[in-house]
Amino acid sequence: MTESRLDAGVTLWLTGLPSSGKTTIATAVVRQVTARGYRTEHLDGDEVRTYLTADLGYSRADRDANVRRIGYVAHLLSRNGVVVVCSLVSPYRAARDELRRLHGGRFVEAWVSTPVEVCARRDVKGLYARQRAGEMAGLTGVDDPYEEPLAPDLVLPAHTQTEEESVAAVLTLLDRPAP
Amino acid sequence: MTESRLDAGVTLWLTGLPSSGKTTIATAVVRQVTARGYRTEHLDGDEVRTYLTADLGYSRADRDANVRRIGYVAHLLSRNGVVVVCSLVSPYRAARDELRRLHGGRFVEAWVSTPVEVCARRDVKGLYARQRAGEMAGLTGVDDPYEEPLAPDLVLPAHTQTEEESVAAVLTLLDRPAP
């Protein structure tokens, strides 16, 4: 079978530190894929909280439940032909690997690999500043772990790539058939 | 626009007491709709617990969260053209009405109206017996409330209808365009 990942339905899972650029890339990918006529959903960690994950905090168990829950929804959508773009810190390798198994092929893990120094300078939501000021604890990459993917399908160094380059790399991969 | 509810994507929401016949009707509807070539998902209260609602119990708040969470997933699927069949007790009217609003038209509420005496005799999961034996509390329709739909799209009296008649009534409605 030679249909592309976009034709078959797929979950694009963007993992990386806070302020690494996940949401920016996700939004641009969704715009382009939608413009090409595909059914597309963007599940963003912050946005699905109201309905899906309002009860969850930032412990390891809660972060894992968050990834599992959103990943399950992505699985249901992608197996029905939808192109699903998920942008979540999703710091733990085991939880991401579990999702890959659940998806049985329709899964692309893209690591937005912006280093923590650059993320802390960008600090889109002010989290790094609040952590430095002692107003919060458990910030991924600073005082909470981030387990880098060992075999991602794609690495997106958003600190040395333009947004256009990141998006082009994603679309090149999604235009290919699943291996 | 004259496309049918099945063509457009729709959520069929089966509400009713435990052992009223929701899952049986849901399974038969899913089988027939799938055989006709539609993308279909069955979200059953008991089955989605592993990924979506493992943390939830049977308080009013938890029951509402359960309905809200599964309903949100149904909304995402149905707006992408999937025929979603949900079979959940979903005892509270306000939670069901919230889902109807969220779905903006792609929602069919079917009340499986089997009376509690008949449900208690069937007792598929042994819940009524356990409640009588004092081994559990909070059984919907017995010592926990069930708020009957005031304006369901469809009433399915599964105690006086055959399974085939219930399924035919559902399919007749889903084959029509949304009003």
Please tell me what DSSP assigns to residue B145. -
| Å between B73 CA and nearest CA of chain A | 7
pLDDT band at A1 (very low <50, low <70, confident <90, very high): low
Between A and B, how many CB-CB pairs are < 8 A? 41
Chain A residue numbers touching B76 (CB-CB < 8 A): 41, 73, 77
Judged by a CB distance cut-off of 8 A, whether residue B51 touches chain A is yes
pLDDT in tens, A152-170: 999 999 999 999 999 999 9
Domains of chain B: 5-174 (3.40.50.300)
Over residues B4-14, the mean pLDDT reads 97
Judged by a CB distance cut-off of 8 A, whether residue A164 touches chain B is no
Q: Which long-range contacts (CB under 8 A, 24 or more apart) does A68-71 make?
A: A68/A95, A68/A98, A68/A99, A68/B51, A69/B51, A69/B52, A70/A43, A70/A45, A71/A11, A71/A13, A71/A95, A71/A98, A71/A99, A71/A102, A71/A103, A71/B51
Separation between Cα atoms, residue A87 and residue B156, nearest integer Å: 42
pLDDT in tens, B122-153: 999 999 999 999 999 999 999 999 999 999 99
Separation between Cα atoms, residue B26 and residue A31, nearest integer Å: 36
Is B52–A41 a contact, with Cβ atoms under 8 angstroms apart?
no
Active-site position among A20, A87, A90, A113: A90
Predicted TM-score (pTM) of the model is 0.92
Is B51–A68 a contact, with Cβ atoms under 8 angstroms apart?
yes
Judged by a CB distance cut-off of 8 A, whether residue A81 touches chain B is yes
pLDDT in tens, B56-76: 888 889 888 889 999 999 999
